[in-house]
Amino acid sequence: MNLPDNPERTVVGRLAPSPTGGLHLGHARTFLIAWLAARQAGGRMILRIEDLDASRVRPGAREGAVADLRWLGFDWDHGPDGGGPAGPYVQSERTSFYDRALDQLKAGEWVYPCTCTRAEVARAASAPHADEEGPVYPGTCASRRAADALALTGRPFAWRSRTPAETIVWNDLFQGRIEVSPDRLGGDFIVARHAVGHAYQLAVVVDDHAMGVTQVIRGLDLIPSTPRQILLYRRLGWSVPDFGHVPLAVDGEGRRLAKRSESLKLETLRAAGADPRGLIGLLAQSCGWSSVLEPSRPGDWIGRVGPGAIPGEPWVVPHDLMTRLII
């Protein structure tokens, strides 16, 4: 892992589960890396529940996530269960913070109201896109100004962030130098939907800034989000945190783990009597911190994790996982 540019800055990391289903082994591995990166630097840890997408939130998932993290031995300094100076620590309770940031973006003409539907964007795209980012937005509504939203009474619209034709560069904690041109990766992106709610890209920037987060460690699949978030940090006049992206966990067929993978959910392992110390040891071994499986708690690895990189390839979850972990 590369050291941050300002080693004197107090490190503040965060764990930010979404209550849209049970946490799985991939989440646990990334959380372990993020937790250790902060704790080993003598830093603080924030727990935040990211529940903006109300349609996907599942009953009991929030409580289940906290229980899973406690079971594995993680702790945090501030969060929804204990409060803190930058609360609330649940996104659905932070609407006013996002409103103020959106107003600031409107004032700078960094956003504009867009009435295009997903189908219209897809039809207008110059070429089909099969990836998760979808087609590049063609700029149909980009000539509008923020004040034009006043004339759209009764019409659904979204607020899109203007994306310049420039390359965003950052020194990733795990991947090294990364260069991405967000205008070619979806183009102008949505930060809010009028009368519906705010989007992930805006909310996490607002929350990380408000909570003093200096270090964001997450999966490689979120690299496309980083240049967009860096743009928002700059436009809002805020310091950009250090970003680190780690390889994902995959099953035996190379498929990314999903919350629907019941057998690999932490809740399932916990209910089956799995040893959390064995699981932490397995995750540490997968990160290259030990050549053998050492039953342990997260704190046992403080001071033992060097600055070397996490293995660059995805972690393939062992097929005999349950045999290894059941007491």
**What is the rounded distance in angstroms from the CA atom of residue 60 to the CA atom of residue 208?**
25
Full DSSP string of 237-275: T-PPPEEEEEPPEE-TTSPBP-TT-GGGBHHHHHHTTB-
Q: Tokens for 254?
A: 């190379």
Torsion of CA 144, 226, 77, 89, to 10 degrees: 30
Identify whether 259 is a catalytic site residue.
yes
Non-local CB neighbours of 143 within 8 Å, separated by 6+ positions: none
34 three-class SS:
helix
Q: Tokens for 103?
A: 């107003």
Q: Tokens for 251?
A: 């099953």
Full DSSP string of 118-180: HHHHHHH-SS---STT-SPP--TTTT--GGGGGGGTTS--EEEEP--S--EEEEETTTEEEEE
Cβ atoms of 56 and 260 within 8 Å: the answer is no
How does strand 197-198 pair with strand 189-193? antiparallel
In whole angstroms, how far apart are CA 179 and each of 19, 232, 281? 31, 17, 34
Choosing from 144, 259, 265, 277, the catalytic residue is: 259
Write out the catalytic residue numbers.
259
